[in-house]
A and B are shown apart, each in its own frame.
Chain A
């Protein structure tokens, strides 16, 4: 039988107008990309991502202030800087929250897994409260089944919600109107539709974790699922702009 071409095609993907989960920088403890900003923005462009909420691994892993200054310098049409906080240093984190708010940041990002911080550490609740008081949206990693509790009352996007844990997210979010989830790991056949049915599509935000994850996967899932065009557009950026207070 002759070769007939590559059967893996995707010419039906909607553009992403705001990706909520992008990083620059590197992990010292694992193989993978170095996360140079130029390479990250090129990867986003190649995958139809027009704008991204970008945080710095330098801030998360080494030095908060210089890492956040690094990401602030990337601000532009394609990059919305997100301030990284270090939960291992709650006193420094509260100072950084104030500094970031003063500089006009709209969101902060928590890295509990990378920083080996558990949800019942006092730091988590304290930093979340300070961020919320400062009017900042919280983007957070960590297991949603455990990190929901110290983040009650916040406007938060859970970046690591896996479809295995979707039921826990839904029941927690029913009582928490500020709870949202990234779509990155909601890659079961009905996860997006389950959130839309139980909570409303406004709780879903496209997140890719570029450059460490394949950004095309959540785009495919969004394009070939059961959500209509207006819902897809909301997930692909509209919802993120709404909670971040951005004009289109």
Chain B
């Protein structure tokens, strides 16, 4: 069992053709990924309301996909309406916040308010982090009682800061996706943080799962830790009722 906690559905603006849901499923099959939690690229990059509704329709088509409801911290009225209207579908299990596309840094008041909104609905938030921003996210999580967040990309090249962040608060999780696969990165993080805080995320279909899968594979984890990374921690975080 493998759960990908950082995936997307929809097209990207680069020279690539990866927008069909069939591509999601094909890419998952290549790597034995059973379940992916996806956000709509349209919602992340441009129009959150339209993207979330398109995502809801796609989620009806496959039991291998669960959804992030994307929240633009600059448009929290939209977010409240989307949560009210789309959570009853039962297919959204978390909130996606992209700090860069929305111009909302992790330490901004609006992102903190978005975390409060997700927490009020009992949802974890996947938040884009880069460089030093896992530290900002950790502080925001610490400041919002009950908030649970995933540091997307575990800071990318700033993974050492992600270690510090994850060790500073017990409600922050890390996932490794990053197109630059520095040798030893995941092994070093896995050796330095609580094993219950590690997740598997790929950024598919922007990035092929080879990047994250290879990073985890190269870390040569024990079977117990590998299963935690692969799905157990995700199942607990998202409160999934798995067969």
Contact = CB atoms under 8 A, between A and B. Distances in A.
Interface of A: 3-10, 32-33, 162-164, 166-167, 170, 185, 187-191, 194, 210-214, 216-221, 224-225
Given A170-B15, A189-B204, A220-B214, A3 B223 contact: yes
B179 A3 contact: no
B183 interface: yes
Given A190-B16, A220-B213, A8 B226 contact: yes
A8 B14 CA distance: 29
Interface string B218-243: 10011110110011000000000000
B40 interface: no
A interface secondary structure, majority? loop
Contacts of B30: 224-225
A201 to B, nearest CB: 17
B18 A190 contact: yes
B48 to A, nearest CB: 23
Interface in B190-232: 204-208, 210-211, 213-218, 221-224, 226-227, 230-231
A213 B183 contact: yes
B182 interface: yes
Contacts of B2: 7-8
B15 A194 contact: yes
A212 to B, nearest CB: 6
Contacts of B14: 163-164, 166-167, 188
A110 B8 CA distance: 36
Given A9-B217, A189-B23, 14 more contacts: A3-B223, A4-B227, A5-B226, A6-B221, A6-B223, A163-B179, A167-B15, A188-B179, A189-B16, A212-B182, A216-B214, A216-B217, A217-B214, A219-B214
Interface string B29-57: 01110000000000000000000000000
B221 A187 contact: no
A8 B183 contact: no
Given A4-B227, A6-B221, A214 B181 contact: yes
Contact of A8 (B181, B206, B211, B221): B221
B221 A212 contact: no
B32 A7 contact: yes
Contacts of A190: 16-18
B158 to A, nearest CB: 12
| Among all A-B residue pairs, the 3 with the closest Cβ atoms | A167-B15, A217-B214, A6-B226
Contact of B181 (A4, A10, A211, A217): A217
A189 B11 CA distance: 12
A163 B16 contact: yes
A211 B181 CA distance: 11
Contact of A7 (B181, B205, B230): B230
Contacts of A214: 181-183, 214-215, 218
B26 to A, nearest CB: 8
28 contacts: A3-B223, A3-B227, A4-B227, A6-B221, A6-B222, A6-B227, A7-B2, A7-B230, A8-B221, A8-B226, A8-B230, A162-B179, A163-B16, A166-B15, A187-B208, A190-B17, A191-B208, A211-B183, A212-B183, A213-B181, A214-B183, A214-B215, A216-B217, A219-B214, A220-B213, A221-B211, A224-B30, A224-B210
Nearest to B17: A190
A217 B211 contact: yes
B180 interface: yes
